[in-house]
Protein backbone atom coordinates (compact mmCIF):
# COMPACT_ATOMS: atom_id res chain seq x y z
CA UNK A 1 0.00 0.00 0.00
CA UNK A 2 1.37 3.41 -0.94
CA UNK A 3 2.16 6.06 1.67
CA UNK A 4 -0.70 8.28 0.54
CA UNK A 5 -3.15 5.39 0.92
CA UNK A 6 -1.84 4.70 4.40
CA UNK A 7 -2.33 8.34 5.27
CA UNK A 8 -5.91 8.26 4.03
CA UNK A 9 -6.49 5.05 5.95
CA UNK A 10 -5.26 6.63 9.16
CA UNK A 11 -7.63 9.57 8.78
CA UNK A 12 -10.54 7.30 7.92
CA UNK A 13 -9.93 5.11 10.94
CA UNK A 14 -10.02 8.11 13.26
CA UNK A 15 -13.25 9.31 11.70
CA UNK A 16 -14.73 5.82 11.89
CA UNK A 17 -13.90 5.61 15.58
CA UNK A 18 -15.77 8.84 16.28
CA UNK A 19 -18.76 7.78 14.20
CA UNK A 20 -18.82 4.35 15.80
CA UNK A 21 -19.15 5.90 19.24
CA UNK A 22 -21.87 8.27 18.05
CA UNK A 23 -23.76 5.45 16.36
CA UNK A 24 -23.57 3.27 19.46
CA UNK A 25 -25.11 6.06 21.50
CA UNK A 26 -27.88 6.40 18.95
CA UNK A 27 -28.34 2.63 18.84
CA UNK A 28 -28.09 2.41 15.07
CA UNK A 29 -24.76 2.53 13.22
CA UNK A 30 -25.80 2.83 9.63
CA UNK A 31 -29.27 4.22 10.05
CA UNK A 32 -27.90 7.32 11.73
CA UNK A 33 -27.04 8.67 8.29
CA UNK A 34 -23.74 9.96 9.72
CA UNK A 35 -21.98 6.72 8.77
CA UNK A 36 -23.47 6.11 5.36
CA UNK A 37 -24.68 9.55 4.41
CA UNK A 38 -28.22 8.51 3.60
CA UNK A 39 -31.25 10.73 4.29
CA UNK A 40 -33.47 10.33 7.33
CA UNK A 41 -36.11 8.45 5.36
CA UNK A 42 -33.48 5.76 4.62
CA UNK A 43 -32.78 5.37 8.34
CA UNK A 44 -36.48 5.16 9.15
CA UNK A 45 -37.15 2.45 6.57
CA UNK A 46 -33.93 0.43 6.95
CA UNK A 47 -35.41 -2.06 9.41
CA UNK A 48 -37.88 -3.09 6.72
CA UNK A 49 -35.10 -4.12 4.32
CA UNK A 50 -33.98 -7.72 3.88
CA UNK A 51 -31.01 -8.32 1.59
CA UNK A 52 -30.86 -11.81 0.11
CA UNK A 53 -27.28 -13.09 -0.18
CA UNK A 54 -26.17 -16.08 -2.24
CA UNK A 55 -22.61 -17.20 -1.58
CA UNK A 56 -20.30 -19.90 -0.29
CA UNK A 57 -19.36 -21.20 3.13
CA UNK A 58 -16.13 -19.22 2.83
CA UNK A 59 -17.95 -16.13 4.08
CA UNK A 60 -21.64 -16.92 4.56
CA UNK A 61 -21.51 -18.04 8.16
CA UNK A 62 -24.01 -17.46 10.97
CA UNK A 63 -21.71 -15.28 13.16
CA UNK A 64 -20.94 -13.00 10.21
CA UNK A 65 -24.65 -12.72 9.43
CA UNK A 66 -25.24 -11.61 13.01
CA UNK A 67 -22.47 -9.00 12.67
CA UNK A 68 -24.06 -7.54 9.54
CA UNK A 69 -27.53 -7.32 11.06
CA UNK A 70 -26.27 -5.79 14.29
CA UNK A 71 -24.13 -3.14 12.63
CA UNK A 72 -26.27 -2.35 9.61
CA UNK A 73 -29.76 -2.33 11.06
CA UNK A 74 -31.36 -4.36 8.28
CA UNK A 75 -31.93 -8.10 7.93
CA UNK A 76 -30.00 -10.48 5.71
CA UNK A 77 -30.93 -13.88 4.36
CA UNK A 78 -28.10 -16.29 3.48
CA UNK A 79 -28.21 -19.05 0.87
CA UNK A 80 -25.01 -21.08 1.08
CA UNK A 81 -23.95 -23.27 -1.82
CA UNK A 82 -20.95 -24.23 -3.97
CA UNK A 83 -19.28 -21.88 -6.45
CA UNK A 84 -20.55 -23.66 -9.55
CA UNK A 85 -24.13 -23.28 -8.32
CA UNK A 86 -23.48 -19.64 -7.40
CA UNK A 87 -22.35 -18.97 -10.95
CA UNK A 88 -25.30 -20.75 -12.58
CA UNK A 89 -27.91 -19.29 -10.26
CA UNK A 90 -26.39 -15.85 -10.66
CA UNK A 91 -26.91 -16.00 -14.41
CA UNK A 92 -30.23 -17.85 -14.62
CA UNK A 93 -32.11 -16.64 -11.51
CA UNK A 94 -31.07 -13.01 -10.96
CA UNK A 95 -34.30 -12.07 -9.18
CA UNK A 96 -33.72 -14.73 -6.51
CA UNK A 97 -30.99 -12.68 -4.79
CA UNK A 98 -29.88 -9.12 -4.06
CA UNK A 99 -26.16 -9.76 -3.52
CA UNK A 100 -24.18 -12.55 -5.15
CA UNK A 101 -20.64 -13.56 -4.15
CA UNK A 102 -19.02 -15.66 -6.90
CA UNK A 103 -15.36 -16.21 -7.63
CA UNK A 104 -13.63 -13.67 -9.85
CA UNK A 105 -12.58 -16.45 -12.21
CA UNK A 106 -16.25 -16.86 -13.21
CA UNK A 107 -16.57 -13.23 -14.35
CA UNK A 108 -15.63 -13.94 -17.96
CA UNK A 109 -18.75 -16.08 -18.25
CA UNK A 110 -20.98 -14.01 -16.00
CA UNK A 111 -20.40 -10.36 -16.84
CA UNK A 112 -21.29 -10.42 -20.58
CA UNK A 113 -24.74 -11.90 -19.83
CA UNK A 114 -26.28 -8.45 -19.15
CA UNK A 115 -27.68 -9.76 -15.86
CA UNK A 116 -25.56 -7.57 -13.58
CA UNK A 117 -25.14 -3.85 -12.99
CA UNK A 118 -21.80 -2.06 -12.73
CA UNK A 119 -20.82 -0.77 -9.31
CA UNK A 120 -19.83 2.88 -8.98
CA UNK A 121 -16.51 2.91 -7.14
CA UNK A 122 -16.93 6.63 -6.35
CA UNK A 123 -19.80 5.63 -4.05
CA UNK A 124 -17.50 3.29 -2.11
CA UNK A 125 -15.97 5.21 0.80
CA UNK A 126 -12.92 3.02 1.20
CA UNK A 127 -12.20 1.91 -2.37
CA UNK A 128 -9.07 4.05 -2.64
CA UNK A 129 -7.66 2.15 0.36
CA UNK A 130 -8.00 -1.26 -1.30
CA UNK A 131 -4.72 -3.02 -2.06
CA UNK A 132 -3.12 -2.42 -5.45
CA UNK A 133 -4.05 -5.94 -6.54
CA UNK A 134 -7.42 -4.41 -7.43
CA UNK A 135 -6.11 -1.27 -9.05
CA UNK A 136 -4.06 -0.59 -12.16
CA UNK A 137 -0.98 -2.43 -10.94
CA UNK A 138 -2.66 -5.80 -10.43
CA UNK A 139 -0.02 -6.55 -7.79
CA UNK A 140 -0.14 -5.89 -4.06
CA UNK A 141 3.56 -5.00 -4.01
CA UNK A 142 5.78 -3.86 -6.89
CA UNK A 143 7.96 -6.98 -6.57
CA UNK A 144 5.00 -9.39 -6.38
CA UNK A 145 4.29 -11.89 -9.12
CA UNK A 146 1.43 -10.90 -11.44
CA UNK A 147 0.79 -14.60 -11.95
CA UNK A 148 -0.48 -16.58 -14.91
CA UNK A 149 -4.18 -17.00 -15.53
CA UNK A 150 -6.87 -14.51 -14.63
CA UNK A 151 -5.37 -11.91 -12.34
CA UNK A 152 -8.48 -10.25 -10.82
CA UNK A 153 -7.48 -6.81 -12.09
CA UNK A 154 -8.11 -8.07 -15.63
CA UNK A 155 -11.84 -8.57 -15.06
CA UNK A 156 -12.64 -6.09 -12.28
CA UNK A 157 -13.45 -3.02 -14.40
CA UNK A 158 -15.95 -2.23 -17.14
CA UNK A 159 -16.03 0.89 -19.26
CA UNK A 160 -19.47 2.23 -18.34
CA UNK A 161 -22.72 1.56 -16.53
CA UNK A 162 -24.49 -0.89 -18.83
CA UNK A 163 -21.22 -1.97 -20.42
CA UNK A 164 -20.64 -5.67 -21.05
CA UNK A 165 -16.92 -5.58 -21.79
CA UNK A 166 -13.95 -5.48 -19.43
CA UNK A 167 -11.83 -2.34 -19.23
CA UNK A 168 -8.20 -1.79 -18.34
CA UNK A 169 -7.70 -1.84 -14.58
CA UNK A 170 -8.01 1.63 -13.07
CA UNK A 171 -9.25 3.21 -16.30
CA UNK A 172 -12.87 3.50 -15.18
CA UNK A 173 -14.89 4.11 -12.04
CA UNK A 174 -17.17 1.18 -12.87
CA UNK A 175 -16.52 -2.18 -11.19
CA UNK A 176 -17.90 -5.60 -12.10
CA UNK A 177 -17.71 -6.70 -8.45
CA UNK A 178 -16.60 -5.48 -5.03
CA UNK A 179 -13.78 -7.84 -3.98
CA UNK A 180 -14.21 -9.43 -0.58
CA UNK A 181 -11.80 -12.22 0.34
CA UNK A 182 -8.61 -13.37 -1.34
CA UNK A 183 -6.05 -16.01 -0.51
CA UNK A 184 -3.33 -18.22 -1.95
CA UNK A 185 -3.92 -21.97 -2.04
CA UNK A 186 -1.60 -24.93 -2.11
CA UNK A 187 -1.63 -28.51 -0.78
CA UNK A 188 -2.64 -29.72 2.67
CA UNK A 189 -1.09 -32.87 4.11
CA UNK A 190 -0.92 -34.94 7.28
CA UNK A 191 2.64 -34.56 8.62
CA UNK A 192 2.31 -37.64 10.83
CA UNK A 193 1.50 -39.78 7.80
CA UNK A 194 4.06 -38.32 5.39
CA UNK A 195 6.81 -38.41 8.01
CA UNK A 196 8.51 -35.46 6.37
CA UNK A 197 7.99 -31.93 5.10
CA UNK A 198 6.66 -31.62 1.56
CA UNK A 199 8.24 -28.88 -0.53
CA UNK A 200 7.03 -29.30 -4.11
CA UNK A 201 3.77 -29.59 -6.03
CA UNK A 202 5.24 -32.72 -7.62
CA UNK A 203 4.26 -34.62 -4.45
CA UNK A 204 0.65 -34.57 -5.68
CA UNK A 205 1.46 -37.23 -8.28
CA UNK A 206 4.13 -39.12 -6.35
CA UNK A 207 3.76 -42.94 -6.25
CA UNK A 208 4.46 -42.67 -2.52
CA UNK A 209 0.95 -41.38 -1.89
CA UNK A 210 -0.95 -43.59 -4.32
CA UNK A 211 -4.51 -44.19 -3.18
CA UNK A 212 -4.33 -41.41 -0.58
CA UNK A 213 -4.65 -38.25 -2.72
CA UNK A 214 -7.72 -36.04 -3.22
CA UNK A 215 -8.54 -33.31 -5.73
CA UNK A 216 -11.10 -30.55 -6.04
CA UNK A 217 -14.09 -31.44 -8.21
CA UNK A 218 -14.16 -28.22 -10.28
CA UNK A 219 -12.44 -29.11 -13.59
CA UNK A 220 -10.61 -25.82 -14.12
CA UNK A 221 -9.23 -25.82 -10.56
CA UNK A 222 -8.33 -29.51 -10.56
CA UNK A 223 -6.49 -29.02 -13.85
CA UNK A 224 -4.44 -26.13 -12.46
CA UNK A 225 -3.46 -28.16 -9.38
CA UNK A 226 -2.47 -31.07 -11.57
CA UNK A 227 -0.73 -28.66 -13.92
CA UNK A 228 1.37 -27.32 -11.05
CA UNK A 229 2.34 -30.90 -10.18
CA UNK A 230 3.10 -31.96 -13.76
CA UNK A 231 5.11 -28.82 -14.48
CA UNK A 232 7.07 -29.29 -11.25
CA UNK A 233 7.77 -32.89 -12.30
CA UNK A 234 8.94 -31.80 -15.76
CA UNK A 235 6.22 -33.83 -17.48
CA UNK A 236 4.23 -31.05 -19.17
CA UNK A 237 5.13 -27.47 -20.10
CA UNK A 238 2.39 -24.84 -20.12
CA UNK A 239 2.42 -21.46 -21.81
CA UNK A 240 -0.33 -20.22 -19.46
CA UNK A 241 -1.54 -22.68 -16.85
CA UNK A 242 -4.68 -20.62 -16.32
CA UNK A 243 -5.65 -20.87 -19.98
CA UNK A 244 -4.48 -24.24 -21.23
CA UNK A 245 -4.60 -25.07 -24.93
CA UNK A 246 -6.35 -28.21 -26.15
CA UNK A 247 -3.00 -29.88 -26.63
CA UNK A 248 -1.96 -29.03 -23.07
CA UNK A 249 -5.32 -30.26 -21.76
CA UNK A 250 -4.94 -33.54 -23.64
CA UNK A 251 -1.43 -34.08 -22.26
CA UNK A 252 -2.63 -33.33 -18.74
CA UNK A 253 -5.59 -35.72 -18.93
CA UNK A 254 -3.48 -38.49 -20.46
CA UNK A 255 -1.45 -38.55 -17.25
CA UNK A 256 -4.46 -37.99 -14.98
CA UNK A 257 -6.33 -40.87 -16.62
CA UNK A 258 -3.38 -43.20 -16.05
CA UNK A 259 -3.24 -42.12 -12.41
CA UNK A 260 -6.98 -42.75 -12.04
CA UNK A 261 -6.62 -46.26 -13.47
CA UNK A 262 -3.82 -46.88 -10.98
CA UNK A 263 -6.22 -45.79 -8.20
CA UNK A 264 -4.02 -42.87 -7.29
CA UNK A 265 -6.96 -40.74 -6.15
CA UNK A 266 -8.87 -41.59 -2.99
CA UNK A 267 -11.54 -38.99 -3.53
CA UNK A 268 -12.75 -35.63 -4.81
CA UNK A 269 -14.32 -32.72 -2.97
CA UNK A 270 -16.51 -29.78 -3.86
CA UNK A 271 -17.16 -28.07 -0.53
CA UNK A 272 -15.05 -26.91 2.40
CA UNK A 273 -16.60 -29.54 4.71
CA UNK A 274 -15.90 -32.39 2.30
CA UNK A 275 -12.20 -31.51 2.19
CA UNK A 276 -12.08 -31.39 6.00
CA UNK A 277 -13.74 -34.80 6.33
CA UNK A 278 -11.35 -36.41 3.85
CA UNK A 279 -8.39 -35.27 5.91
CA UNK A 280 -9.97 -36.14 9.26
CA UNK A 281 -10.64 -39.68 8.02
CA UNK A 282 -6.86 -40.11 7.56
CA UNK A 283 -7.63 -42.03 4.39
CA UNK A 284 -6.24 -39.01 2.54
CA UNK A 285 -2.64 -38.01 3.21
CA UNK A 286 -2.32 -35.22 0.66
CA UNK A 287 -4.85 -33.08 -1.16
CA UNK A 288 -5.69 -29.82 -2.81
CA UNK A 289 -7.03 -27.77 0.09
CA UNK A 290 -8.03 -24.34 1.36
CA UNK A 291 -5.93 -22.84 4.12
CA UNK A 292 -8.76 -22.50 6.71
CA UNK A 293 -9.75 -26.13 6.13
CA UNK A 294 -6.27 -27.18 7.21
CA UNK A 295 -6.62 -25.02 10.31
CA UNK A 296 -9.94 -26.68 11.16
CA UNK A 297 -8.41 -30.13 10.75
CA UNK A 298 -5.48 -29.20 12.98
CA UNK A 299 -7.83 -27.85 15.62
CA UNK A 300 -9.37 -31.33 15.77
CA UNK A 301 -6.10 -33.02 16.61
CA UNK A 302 -4.72 -33.99 13.20
CA UNK A 303 -1.19 -32.81 12.43
CA UNK A 304 -2.23 -31.09 9.21
CA UNK A 305 0.17 -28.76 7.40
CA UNK A 306 -0.49 -26.27 4.64
CA UNK A 307 2.50 -26.69 2.38
CA UNK A 308 4.69 -23.73 1.40
CA UNK A 309 5.80 -25.13 -1.95
CA UNK A 310 8.77 -23.82 -3.86
CA UNK A 311 6.87 -23.36 -7.12
CA UNK A 312 4.45 -20.87 -5.54
CA UNK A 313 0.72 -20.66 -4.95
CA UNK A 314 -2.58 -20.83 -6.81
CA UNK A 315 -4.56 -17.75 -5.78
CA UNK A 316 -8.15 -16.57 -5.90
CA UNK A 317 -10.50 -13.70 -5.20
CA UNK A 318 -14.22 -13.68 -4.51
CA UNK A 319 -16.47 -10.64 -4.46
CA UNK A 320 -19.99 -9.27 -4.52
CA UNK A 321 -22.03 -8.57 -7.65
CA UNK A 322 -25.33 -6.73 -8.00
CA UNK A 323 -28.21 -7.94 -10.20
CA UNK A 324 -29.26 -5.44 -12.85
CA UNK A 325 -32.76 -4.94 -11.43
CA UNK A 326 -31.68 -3.93 -7.91
CA UNK A 327 -32.60 -0.31 -7.16
CA UNK A 328 -34.07 2.03 -4.57
CA UNK A 329 -33.65 1.34 -0.88
CA UNK A 330 -32.21 -2.12 -1.43
CA UNK A 331 -29.52 -0.75 -3.73
CA UNK A 332 -28.67 1.93 -1.17
CA UNK A 333 -28.46 -0.77 1.50
CA UNK A 334 -26.13 -2.83 -0.71
CA UNK A 335 -23.75 0.14 -1.09
CA UNK A 336 -23.89 0.71 2.67
CA UNK A 337 -22.96 -2.94 3.16
CA UNK A 338 -19.97 -2.51 0.82
CA UNK A 339 -18.73 0.37 2.96
CA UNK A 340 -19.18 -1.68 6.13
CA UNK A 341 -17.39 -4.66 4.54
CA UNK A 342 -14.16 -2.68 4.25
CA UNK A 343 -14.20 -1.01 7.69
CA UNK A 344 -12.17 -3.71 9.45
CA UNK A 345 -14.45 -5.91 11.55
CA UNK A 346 -15.16 -8.30 8.67
CA UNK A 347 -11.48 -8.41 7.82
CA UNK A 348 -10.59 -9.39 11.38
CA UNK A 349 -13.34 -12.04 11.52
CA UNK A 350 -12.06 -13.72 8.36
CA UNK A 351 -8.37 -13.15 9.18
CA UNK A 352 -8.88 -15.48 12.12
CA UNK A 353 -9.80 -18.15 9.58
CA UNK A 354 -6.82 -17.46 7.35
CA UNK A 355 -8.38 -15.20 4.70
CA UNK A 356 -7.43 -11.68 3.62
CA UNK A 357 -9.60 -8.58 3.07
CA UNK A 358 -8.74 -5.85 0.50
CA UNK A 359 -8.21 -3.25 3.27
CA UNK A 360 -5.62 -4.90 5.56
CA UNK A 361 -4.74 -1.71 7.44
CA UNK A 362 -8.34 -1.49 8.61
CA UNK A 363 -8.32 -5.17 9.49
CA UNK A 364 -5.28 -4.50 11.67
CA UNK A 365 -7.31 -2.10 13.83
CA UNK A 366 -9.52 -5.01 14.92
CA UNK A 367 -6.76 -7.55 15.66
CA UNK A 368 -4.43 -7.72 18.64
CA UNK A 369 -0.73 -7.21 18.05
CA UNK A 370 -0.19 -10.94 18.50
CA UNK A 371 -2.97 -11.84 16.06
CA UNK A 372 -1.68 -9.44 13.42
CA UNK A 373 1.83 -10.78 13.86
CA UNK A 374 0.64 -14.37 13.47
CA UNK A 375 -1.78 -14.01 10.57
CA UNK A 376 -0.01 -11.33 8.52
CA UNK A 377 3.64 -11.04 9.54
CA UNK A 378 4.61 -14.69 9.92
CA UNK A 379 5.58 -14.27 13.56
CA UNK A 380 5.40 -17.02 16.16
CA UNK A 381 2.32 -16.70 18.34
CA UNK A 382 3.07 -15.27 21.78
CA UNK A 383 -0.20 -16.50 23.24
CA UNK A 384 -2.98 -18.85 22.18
CA UNK A 385 -4.40 -17.84 18.79
CA UNK A 386 -8.17 -18.14 18.77
CA UNK A 387 -10.72 -18.52 16.02
CA UNK A 388 -13.53 -15.96 15.51
CA UNK A 389 -15.70 -17.72 18.09
CA UNK A 390 -13.01 -17.64 20.77
CA UNK A 391 -11.97 -21.29 20.48
CA UNK A 392 -8.30 -22.19 20.79
CA UNK A 393 -6.82 -22.53 17.31
CA UNK A 394 -3.02 -22.35 17.58
CA UNK A 395 -0.73 -22.72 20.57
CA UNK A 396 2.05 -20.31 21.60
CA UNK A 397 5.16 -20.65 19.45
CA UNK A 398 3.23 -21.76 16.39
CA UNK A 399 3.96 -19.99 13.07
CA UNK A 400 1.33 -19.77 10.38
CA UNK A 401 1.91 -22.17 7.49
CA UNK A 402 3.15 -20.19 4.51
CA UNK A 403 4.44 -17.43 6.75
CA UNK A 404 3.81 -13.82 5.87
CA UNK A 405 1.07 -12.24 3.83
CA UNK A 406 3.73 -11.15 1.36
CA UNK A 407 5.23 -14.63 1.02
CA UNK A 408 1.84 -16.08 0.16
CA UNK A 409 0.29 -13.36 -2.01
CA UNK A 410 3.60 -12.22 -3.45
CA UNK A 411 4.38 -15.67 -4.89
CA UNK A 412 1.29 -16.38 -6.97
CA UNK A 413 2.14 -18.79 -9.77
CA UNK A 414 -1.37 -18.86 -11.23
CA UNK A 415 -4.78 -17.37 -10.49
CA UNK A 416 -7.97 -19.39 -10.51
CA UNK A 417 -9.20 -18.96 -14.06
CA UNK A 418 -11.90 -19.92 -16.49
CA UNK A 419 -10.03 -21.02 -19.64
CA UNK A 420 -11.12 -20.45 -23.22
CA UNK A 421 -11.43 -24.22 -23.59
CA UNK A 422 -13.61 -24.74 -20.51
CA UNK A 423 -16.28 -26.76 -22.35
CA UNK A 424 -13.65 -29.06 -23.83
CA UNK A 425 -11.92 -29.32 -20.45
CA UNK A 426 -15.20 -30.15 -18.71
CA UNK A 427 -16.02 -32.88 -21.23
CA UNK A 428 -12.59 -34.38 -20.67
CA UNK A 429 -13.05 -34.15 -16.92
CA UNK A 430 -16.36 -36.03 -17.18
CA UNK A 431 -14.53 -38.77 -19.08
CA UNK A 432 -11.86 -38.80 -16.40
CA UNK A 433 -14.50 -39.15 -13.68
CA UNK A 434 -16.09 -42.07 -15.50
CA UNK A 435 -12.89 -44.14 -15.48
DSSP conformation class of 321: B
Instruction: Say yes or no to pLDDT of 347 above 60.
Output: yes
Q: Give all strands (DSSP E) within 83-236, no chain letters.
A: 99-100, 116-117, 119-120, 148-149, 157-158, 174-175, 178-190, 213-216
Q: How many helices (H) and strands (E) does the chain have?
A: 16, 18
Nearest to 73 by CA among 53, 49, 54, 97: 49
Virtual CA dihedral for 233, 238, 242, 244, nearest 10 degrees? Answer: -120
pLDDT band at 39 (very low <50, low <70, confident <90, very high): low
- Do 320 and 177 touch, CB atoms closer than 8 A? yes
For residues 205 and 282, what is the distance between their CA atoms, to the nearest angstrom? 18
User: What pairing do the DSSP bridges indicate for beta strands 178-190 and 313-320?
Assistant: antiparallel
Sign of the alpha-carbon torsion through 292, 297, 300, 305? negative
For domain 3-183+315-364, the CATH class is: alpha beta
Q: What is the H or E stretch that residue 63 is in?
A: helix 62-72
Strand-pair partners of 79: 54
Q: Kindly report, residue by residue over 80-96, the tens digit of the pLDDT.
A: 998 999 999 999 999 99
For residues 405 and 139, what is the distance between their CA atoms, to the nearest angstrom? 13
- Do 315 and 307 touch, CB atoms closer than 8 A? no
Q: Kindly report, residue by residue over 250-299, the tens digit of the pLDDT.
A: 999 999 999 999 999 999 998 888 999 999 999 999 999 988 888 889 88
- Do 67 and 345 touch, CB atoms closer than 8 A? yes
Instruction: Say yes or no to pLDDT of 11 above 60.
Output: no
For residues 230 and 255, what is the distance between their CA atoms, to the nearest angstrom? 9
For residues 78 and 56, what is the distance between their CA atoms, to the nearest angstrom? 9
pLDDT band at 44 (very low <50, low <70, confident <90, very high): low
Q: How far is CA 435 from CA 106, 218, 241, in A?
A: 28, 17, 24
Residues 6 or more apart whose Cβ sits within 8 Å of residue 21: none
DSSP alpha helix (H) spans, 200-327: 219-232, 246-261, 272-280, 291-299
Instruction: Say yes or no to pLDDT of 4 above 50.
Output: no
Nearest to 73 by CA among 98, 52, 43, 100: 43
Q: What is the mean pLDDT of residues 208-222?
A: 96
pLDDT of residue 41: 60
For residues 179 and 49, what is the distance between their CA atoms, to the nearest angstrom? 23
Task: Report the percent of the chain where pLDDT is more than 90.
Answer: 82
Instruction: Say yes or no to pLDDT of 37 above 80.
Output: no
Instruction: Say yes or no to pLDDT of 124 above 90.
Output: yes
Q: Kindly report, residue by residue over 161-170, the tens digit of the pLDDT.
A: 999 999 999 9
Q: Do domains 3-183+315-364 and 191-312+369-434 have the same CATH topology?
A: yes
pLDDT of residue 34: 33
Nearest to 315 by CA among 131, 406, 183, 223: 183
- Do 349 and 388 touch, CB atoms closer than 8 A? yes
pLDDT band at 45 (very low <50, low <70, confident <90, very high): confident
Fold of 191-312+369-434: D-Maltodextrin-Binding Protein; domain 2 (3.40.190)
Q: Domains of the chain: which residue ranges?
A: 3-183+315-364, 191-312+369-434
Amino acid sequence: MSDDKKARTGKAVSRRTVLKGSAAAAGLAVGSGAVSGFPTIWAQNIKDVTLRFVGSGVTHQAPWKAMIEKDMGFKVDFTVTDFDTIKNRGITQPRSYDLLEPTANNLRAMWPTNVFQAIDSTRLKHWDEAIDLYHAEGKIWPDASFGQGQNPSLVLYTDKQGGRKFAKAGSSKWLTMVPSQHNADTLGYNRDLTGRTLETWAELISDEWRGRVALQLLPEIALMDMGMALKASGLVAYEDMGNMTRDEIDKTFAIMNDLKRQKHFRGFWLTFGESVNLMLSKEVVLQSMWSPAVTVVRAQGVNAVYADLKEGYRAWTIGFMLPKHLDGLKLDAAYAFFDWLYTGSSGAYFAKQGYYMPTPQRTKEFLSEDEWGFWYEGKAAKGVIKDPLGNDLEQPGRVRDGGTYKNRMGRVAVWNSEPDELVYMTDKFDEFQAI
